[in-house]
Structure 1
Amino acid sequence: MVTPPILMILGVPFEQWIDSSGFLVETVEPGSAADRAGLQGGDWPVIWGGTQYLIGGDIITHVDGVRVTDLASTLQLVRGLTVGQEVTVTWQREGEQMEATVVLQERPTLPADLEQYRLR
């Protein structure tokens, strides 16, 4: 989730903080619904609290007209989505509002998903 310090780093004017708050897109998987919608991930590596994040990507502000405000409500919203569902996503990119509608597809298994099953 975008926090005031991140908005400051990104140079978002204070009066635009409310409209620019939401879920920061760090990476976009090729071929994913986010990729098809045209969302862009970050390209600026920043270390925050000992963890590296990519910032500078799009900020998702609404999903099907529902405002993305905090992690708990965002997770609840995402858990309610289903494969094959048509979803409209609204986001901010460099101060401009953008929107696209996509059909959600099943997320492919990624190497990081299999890490828990790796023999040690």
Structure 2
Amino acid sequence: MTEEGIKIAIFQSPPVVYEDSPGNDRSRFMCIGNFWSLYLAKQLPASAKIRVNLIETPLKKNMDALALSLALSADSCHSLAPDKTSLYLESIRQYLKAHFPQIAMDLSPLFKGKKSFSEAFGINRRDL
């Protein structure tokens, strides 16, 4: 993904963070949800700024339950059925190619052709 593509992805699902030491001059923010977005953010230059969802610091006893509920809800609500994924992604790629060809390239150079696109997502190009 390009830097612009990464920023767009993070904008859709910003990392969920809380302040580890509220009121401290040297506060640290800890990520508790949308870890994939945090991983993506680490691919950006150190000077880049991203949006985050700041939540109230959870009680230690609730930390695991909150982190796991965020992970389960995100994974279950954002996932597609495997038999639908390739057709869905290809239909988006075809529409962008026909109407907004530069958009796909702005997201990733791998989105230009059918072969590189299918390889990027690990799908069989014959399914497209």
- Name the one with the larger strand percent: 1
- Name the one with the larger helix percent: 2
TM-score, normalising length: structure 2:
0.23
Q: Radius of gyration: which is bigger?
A: 2
